[in-house]
Amino acid sequence: MKLTKLVAMLAALMMLASACAGDSEPAAPPETVVVTETVTVTVPGETVTVTETVPVEMDNPLAGTTVTVFGPESSDTEAGAFQAALDLFAAANGMTISYTGARDFSDQINVQVAGGNPPDIGILPQPGKLADFARSGDLIALPDDLAASSEATTPADTYVLANVDGVQYSFPTKADVKSNVWYKPAVFADKGYEVPETWDELRALSQQMIDNGDTPWCVGIDSGGGATGWPFTDWVEDLILRYHGADVFDQWVAGDVLFSDDRIVAIFDEIRDLWNLPAGTYAAGGTIATTLFGDNAPALVDDNCLMHKQANFFASFFPEGTYFGTDRTEEGVAGIDVFFFPPISADDAKPLLSGGVFPVQFNDRPEVTAVMAYMASADYANARQRFQKLANGGGEAVSGFISPNADADITLWSPIEQSFINILRNSEVVRFDGSDQLPSPVNSEFWRSATAFVNGDIDAATATENIDATWP
């Protein structure tokens, strides 16, 4: 007698859906799954086929697997919260997920991919680099169901940045609001400084502070690796939006407006002139180019400077116990707050420069896809926020993390960060970080030439010509 047994099972997909469901943390896959079992028995002169539906005990297909994740978030607070959120999913599924963060991620990921040894998942801040990897065949496209579910919870203008030639490769898991100036309202009040409503008023305020014996700005552009220089690029992009509008910004990102255009060169010079005002800048590392971008947070608390332009994630670099929000004068508590980087004219729209990160899948294994699906969920966003806020002291602490997921529980965020989320959702003019959308060689040269320009090694004309020369 010859016996052939055919069993068709869709357990893996069912377990992905189960693992990503729930209100607070991912649920474990079921212990059994209903399958159809077909048995064909051949005996002399007769063939009998019997089909029945039965429950079959299943092993969790994720159990015992390992997934590696590599990204740019490397501080104890950010990397620790990221790992903790991943650990929830790993524990629920009997698997291991390891996150590694590095300041020089942008350099390392290029080497790893070129050497054929990429992580399972990379966390890319640059849609331009994502497009490069996609077109070179290094990325796995999102499954249709994951693409559809992530699109439903993501701002359309950000989601589309992970679409390359009609194929969706990712979704944002972190959003950044970059058009902020951090300051202490109590200090402004005590010294008679007013929050500026225009760019000219901001420049005048800087000089007023210097004349009063105060240092207006803290600035640091070091990123600990190949991305050093990116804080300068944020200043450039915010001013392109303010001086010339979203259309010119888009043309510049597309390469139709060159860096060497007189309008862009003038912005380079204007920023350096502001930073180079005598006694106008404090840098904790000694110079602007050797000061890590987060290291000036304690200096702002200690009044070594009175303003710092940086994204919302700057909050995670303040000393533990820092209070954010409106001053509690009756308790003698001076808060750290932000004002919006002002437009050129008070009557102008207030354009927002945003940013974020996109997880991409390099290796095509079911467990890797499962982790991608988890990272697209509100469960991940809420867990990441809880852990990062706890790492910063809990209670009224600011996490420095914002999720773009519309299903995330906004009540988990502090009032000041809820305001960031509302700004992100409601701003009329929003543009994602322009340098991060550029092709990788152009973005890398933007960082390098920006650093050399800030150091005074080259002038704006040379810096912008260097960048233009790298366009593919």
Domain CATH number, residue 402: 3.40.190.10
Q: State whether 343 and 221 are in the same domain.
A: yes
Q: Do both 346 and 361 map to the same domain?
A: no
Q: Is residue 111 part of a domain?
A: yes
Output the 3-class SS for 245-291: HHHHHHHHHHCCCCCCCHHHHHHHHHHHHHHCCCCCEECCCCCCCCC
Tell me which residue of 416, 415, 378, 384 sits closest to 401, measured CA to CA: 384
Q: Does residue 423 belong to any structural domain of this protein?
A: no
Residue in 175, 177, 180 with CA at minimum distance from that of residue 340? 180
Indicate whether 325 belongs to any domain: yes
34 and 119 together in one domain: no
Domain, as residue range, for 324: 180-350+439-468
Domain match, 316 and 290 both? yes
Contact 387, 81 (CB under 8 A): yes
Shared domain check, 156 and 193: no
Q: Which segments of the chain have a pLDDT < 50?
A: 1-25, 27-30, 33, 35, 37, 39-40, 42-43
The DSSP code for 303 is: T
State residue 395's pLDDT score: 81
Does 434 map to a domain?
no
pLDDT of res. 227: 87
- The whole-angstrom separation of Cα 216 and Cα 303 is 10
- Whether residue 425 is contained in a domain is answered as no
- Tell how far CA 193 is from the center of its chain: 33
Helix-strand-coil split of the chain, %, nearest 5: 45, 20, 40
Tell me if 308 is assigned to some domain.
yes
pLDDT, residue 320, reads 82
State residue 22's pLDDT score: 41
Spatial contact of 184 and 178, defined as CB atoms under 8 Å apart: no
Residues 110 and 245 in one domain: no
Report the C-alpha gap between 227 and 245 in whole angstroms. Answer: 26
Name the token pair of 231: 């804080």
Position 3, amino acid: L
Q: Does the residue 426 lie in any domain?
A: no
State whether 310 and 450 are in the same domain. yes
Q: Are residues 450 and 374 in the same domain?
A: no
Count of domains observed in the chain: 3
- Residue 142: CB atoms within 10 Å: 25
Q: What pLDDT does residue 60 have? A: 87
Give yes or no: residues 198 and 340 share one domain: yes
Same domain, 104 and 217: no
Tell me, yes or no, whether 384 and 280 share the same domain: no
Q: What is the pLDDT of residue 51?
A: 60
63's CB contacts (< 8 A; 6+ apart) are 93, 94, 95
Q: Tell me, yes or no, whether 19 lies in a domain.
A: yes
**Same domain membership, residue 227 and residue 374:** no
